[in-house]
């Protein structure tokens, strides 16, 4: 008797899921939104959003005009990270170029540079446009490294005029400091959050709008069966999205998978269930596709971008936003992805993130199911 | 010895409001086993609210609703396994074909493959939808769509069938076909409650309840009601107008 009841329940869940698959197959826009959009956006964002600094415009003020000073400029610009846009100008003209924005940095080689190199120590001065803080910081670091490397090749230490303390820094997990390595995991979480919440919110709200909920409620199907049946196909699509995004990340951006696949799978399932539950809750409350889209955007797109650590480090957020970010599941998924992909972490390290994702998923499903009454009022 | 007829559906002094609007103002009625009960009234009379209450889709503000002896709003109740509903709106899945809609609802009602195959064949036969099984529901004509909705509601052989304005927007030929179909179901022992704004359809019912502005202003055999008001049996509109006049006039006095 009990097993018959369970069989009927499973049958109804599968019926709901099968119907949803038919809807998805018939509506190419949903499939595009679900599969193509994350990949297209990943590629566009991955190439578009980059904190890497390259081809920096450099104004050279070479007051020494010796073979060694010219060789230094050649060495510094050889990698194309700096490109000479002005050469042989006076210091005033070079600073003017900085002001106008035609140059991002100025390399000042004072007279006597070659002799200083031969004596065993020379200094050059680097001026950087600080209006773009990120580029300025990276330009300074790159210039320091390039000048010091060039100095070794020239036969004597050459330093960018700097404070007496020098820190020797080594970056782990992303030694080349490539933005893609940092961004792709964050971007993956962000895109999955949008798509999962949006699609679920839309599909369930559509049932209310076109009245099919009335027909469903007149059948023996239970609300949990409706919820699970409707979410199952989107969970499958979501997991397919994760695979696609990771494949594109590895193939296009060389983002590795160094850590535990179990942690990755578990984190992905929990995150997706939470996001699908959030979408369901939105649709249950709004019962309207337009409003559901707006609410889904407000509650998934913005927080997943701004408060997940995807772009802005959570440590740098003001305390109130930092507290709010603890409620954003994307924060934990971004941390899980970066942990697994870049740091090679496993369950032993990532369990707090997974517990947070599990709690959010459970909360969303319970609240959504409770709010989802089998009535039209 | 006369036996008291068994009641399948009942409303007892049921009230239901939507905000400030009173949709039902203390309605009591009973639908007997095996009869066609017509809930007749103009738009906004409260017919859809009454049917939704009977199907457990709404809760009453006051009063009691019983369906086959149970509270239909109780989610643990098994009443839905014995209830069929054809809502007023087009609530099937328009992007699914006739066959896919039938299959989906058969699975929700837990029909075995064999049962489904048998009932599908019979329902397609009586609704004459056999030639359109691959057609999407939203590509069907109004009459065919209603027949599909009826077929979906009949798959599990319900004891009670609630139909909310099934002939609304349906051409006269399809209307007649639908009514023939419904009589066929009653002959099989099914209880039917049909709401309609068309007074001429009242004559097709065994008993009618005239709903006006949330109140049941008359109930009984349509031929008997017509006789009481001196109208021809097929002119139920005159009966309804006389009752409305009497009710509104009485209130004004």
Q: Each residue of A313-356: pLDDT tens digit?
A: 787 788 899 899 999 999 999 989 988 988 888 898 899 999 99
Domains of chain B: 30-86+159-252 (3.40.50.300)
- Residues of B within 8 A of A12 (CB-CB) are 107-108, 110
Question: HEC string of chain B?
Answer: CCCCCCEEEEEEEEEEEECCEEEEEEEEEEEECCCEEEEECCCCCCHHHHHHHHCCCCCCCEEEEEECCECCCCCCCCHHHHEEEECCCCCCCCCCEHHHHHHHHHHHCCCCHHHHHHHHHHHHHHHCCHHHCCCEHHHCCHHHHHHHHHHHHHCCCCCEEEEECCCCCCCHHHHHHHHHHHHHHHHCCCEEEEEECCHHHHHHCCEEEEEECCEEEEEECHHHHHHHCCCCCCCHHHHHHHHHHHHHHHHHC
* Position with higher pLDDT, A96 vs A136: A96
Question: Which residue has 């970010």 as its token pair?
Answer: A325
CB pairs under 8 A between A and B: 87
| Strand partners of residue B218 | B210
> Hey, where are the domains in chain A?
2-49+178-371, 56-160
pLDDT tens readout for residues A232-253:
998 888 888 888 888 888 888 8
Yes or no: say if A196 and A33 are a contact pair by the CB < 8 Å rule: no
User: Given this model, what pLDDT does residue A181 score?
Assistant: 74
Regions of chain B with pLDDT less than 70? 1-5, 233, 250-253
**What token pair was written down for A237?**
């699509």
CATH of A56-160, one of 3.40.1710.10, 1.10.760.10, 3.90.1150.10, 3.50.50.60: 3.40.1710.10
Q: What is the 3-state secondary structure (H, E, C) of chain A?
A: CHHHHHHHHHHHHHHHHHHHHHHHHHCHHHHHHHHHHHHHHHHHHHHHCCCCCCCEEEEEEECCCCHHHHHHHHHHHCCCCEEEEEECCCHHHHHHHHHHCCCCEEEEECCCHHHHHHHCCEEEEEEECCCCHHHHHHHHHHHHHHHHHHHHHHCCCEEECCCCCCCCCCCCCCCCCCHHHHHHHHHHHHHHHHHHHHHHHHHHHHHHHCCHHHHHHCCCCCHHHHHHHHHHHHHHHHHHHHHHHHHHHHHHHCCCCCCCHHHHHHHHHHHHHHHHHHHHHHHHHHCCHHHHHHHHHHHHHHHHHHCCCCCCCHHHCCHHHHHHHCCCHHHHHHHHHHHHHHHCCCHHHHHHHHHHHHHHHHHHHHHHHHHCCCCCC
Give the closest-approach CA distance of B138 to chain A in angstroms: 12
Residue A23 with chain B: CB contacts under 8 Å: 93, 95-96
Q: What is the mean pLDDT of residues A80-97?
A: 82
Residue A371 confidence (pLDDT) above 90? no
Cβ of B57 and A216 within 8 Å? no
Residues of B in contact with A14 (CB under 8 A): 107
Among A368, A203, A198, A207, residue whose Cα is nearest residue A300: A198
Most B CBs within 10 Å, among A4, A25, A218, to test the B interface: A218
The chain-wide mean pLDDT, for chain A, equals 82
Q: Give me the interface pTM, i.e. the ipTM.
A: 0.87
Judge: B110–A27 Cβ closer than 8 Å, yes or no.
Answer: no
Q: What is the pLDDT of residues A144-166, one digit of tens each?
A: 777 777 777 776 666 665 443 44
The least confident of A39-53, A201-215, A243-257 is A39-53
Average pLDDT of every residue of chain B: 89
Q: Please report where in the chains the tokens 């983002």 appear, as a residue.
A: A255
Res. A134 pLDDT band, cuts 50 70 90: low
Asked if the Cβ–Cβ distance from B87 to A27 is below 8 Å, we say no
Percentage of residues of chain A with pLDDT beyond 90:
18
Instruction: In whole angstroms, give the CA distance from residue B205 to residue B179.
Output: 10
φ, ψ of residue B18 in degrees (nearest 5): -120, 100
* pTM of the predicted structure, to 2 decimals: 0.77
Among candidates A18, A214, A375 on the partner chain, residue whose Cβ is nearest the Cβ of B87:
A214
Burial grade of A85 (CB within 10 A; 0-12, 13-18, 19 or more): middle
With CA atoms as reference, the chain B residue closest to A14 would be B107
Q: What angle do CA B74, B78, B79 make, to 5 degrees?
A: 80
- Minimal Cα–Cα distance from B73 to chain A, Å? 8
Supply the pLDDT for residue A182: 73
The contact set of B with A (CB < 8 A) is 18, 52, 55-59, 73, 75, 78, 80-81, 83-85, 87, 89-96, 100, 104-105, 107-110, 152-153
A170 has a pLDDT exceeding 80: no
């Amino acid at each position: 008797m009990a097993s018959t009841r369970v069989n009927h329940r499973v049958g109804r869940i599968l019926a709901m899921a099968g119907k949803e698959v038919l809807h998805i197959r018939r509506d190419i826009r949903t499939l595009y939104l679900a599969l193509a959009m994350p990949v297209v956006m990943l590629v566009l964002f991955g190439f578009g959003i980059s904190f890497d600094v390259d081809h920096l415009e450099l104004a050279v003020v070479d007051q020494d005009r010796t073979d060694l000073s010219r060789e230094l400029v050649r060495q510094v610009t050889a990698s194309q990270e700096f490109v000479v846009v002005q050469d042989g100008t006076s210091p005033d003209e070079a600073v003017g170029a900085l002001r106008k924005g035609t140059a991002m940095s100025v390399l000042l080689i004072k007279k006597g540079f070659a002799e200083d190199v031969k004596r065993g120590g020379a200094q050059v001065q680097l001026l950087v446009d600080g209006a773009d803080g990120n580029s300025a910081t990276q330009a300074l670091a790159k210039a320091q490294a390039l000048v010091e490397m060039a100095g070794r090749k020239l036969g004597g230490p050459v330093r960018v005029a700097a404070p007496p303390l020098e820190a020797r820094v080594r970056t782990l997990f992303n030694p080349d400091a490539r933005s893609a390595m940092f961004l792709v995991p964050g971007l993956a979480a962000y895109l999955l959050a949008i798509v999962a919440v949006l699609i679920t919110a839309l599909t369930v709200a559509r049932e209310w709008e076109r009245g099919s909920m009335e027909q469903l409620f007149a059948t023996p199907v239970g609300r949990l069966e409706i919820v699970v049946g409707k979410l199952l196909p989107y969970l499958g699509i979501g997991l397919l999205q994760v695979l696609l995004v990771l494949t594109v990340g590895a193939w296009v951006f060389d983002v590795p998978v160094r850590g535990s696949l179990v942690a990755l799978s578990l984190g992905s399932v929990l995150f997706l269930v939470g996001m699908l539950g959030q979408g369901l809750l939105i649709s249950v409350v709004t019962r309207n596709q337009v409003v559901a889209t707006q609410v889904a955007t407000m509650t998934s797109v913005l927080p997943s971008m701004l408060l997940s650590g995807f772009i802005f480090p959570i440590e740098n957020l003001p305390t109130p936003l930092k507290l709010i970010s603890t409620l954003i599941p994307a924060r934990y998924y971004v941390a899980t992805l970066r942990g697994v992909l870049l740091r090679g972490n496993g369950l032993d390290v990532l369990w707090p993130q997974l517990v947070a994702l599990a709690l959010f998923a459970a909360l969303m499903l319970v609240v959504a199911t409770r709010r989802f009454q089998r009535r039209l009022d | 010895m006369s036996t008291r007829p068994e009641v399948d559906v009942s409303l007892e002094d049921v009230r239901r409001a939507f905000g400030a609007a009173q949709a039902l103002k203390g309605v009591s009625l009973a639908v007997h086993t095996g009869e066609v009960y017509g809930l007749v009234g103009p738009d906004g009379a409260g017919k859809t609210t009454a049917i939704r209450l009977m199907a457990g889709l709404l809760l009453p503000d006051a009063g009691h609703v019983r369906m086959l002896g149970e509270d239909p709003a109780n989610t643990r109740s098994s009443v839905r396994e014995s209830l069929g509903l054809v809502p007023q709106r087009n609530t099937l899945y328009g992007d699914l074909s006739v066959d896919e809609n039938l299959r989906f609802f058969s699975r929700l009602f837990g029909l075995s493959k064999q049962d489904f195959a048998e009932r599908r064949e019979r329902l397609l036969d009586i609704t004459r939808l056999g030639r359109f099984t691959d057609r999407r529901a939203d590509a069907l004509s109004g009459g065919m769509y209603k027949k599909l909705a009826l077929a979906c509601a009949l798959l599990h052989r319900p004891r009670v069938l609630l139909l909310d304005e099934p002939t609304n927007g349906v051409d006269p030929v399809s209307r007649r076909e639908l009514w023939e179909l419904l009589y066929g179901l009653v002959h099989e022992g099914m209880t039917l409650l049909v709401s309609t704004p068309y007074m001429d359809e009242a004559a097709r019912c065994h008993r009618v309840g005239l709903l006006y502005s949330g109140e049941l202003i008359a109930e009984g055999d349509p031929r008997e009601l017509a006789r009481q008001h001196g109208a021809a049996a097929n002119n139920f509109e005159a009966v309804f107008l006389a009752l409305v006049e009497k009710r509104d006039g009485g209130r004004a006095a």
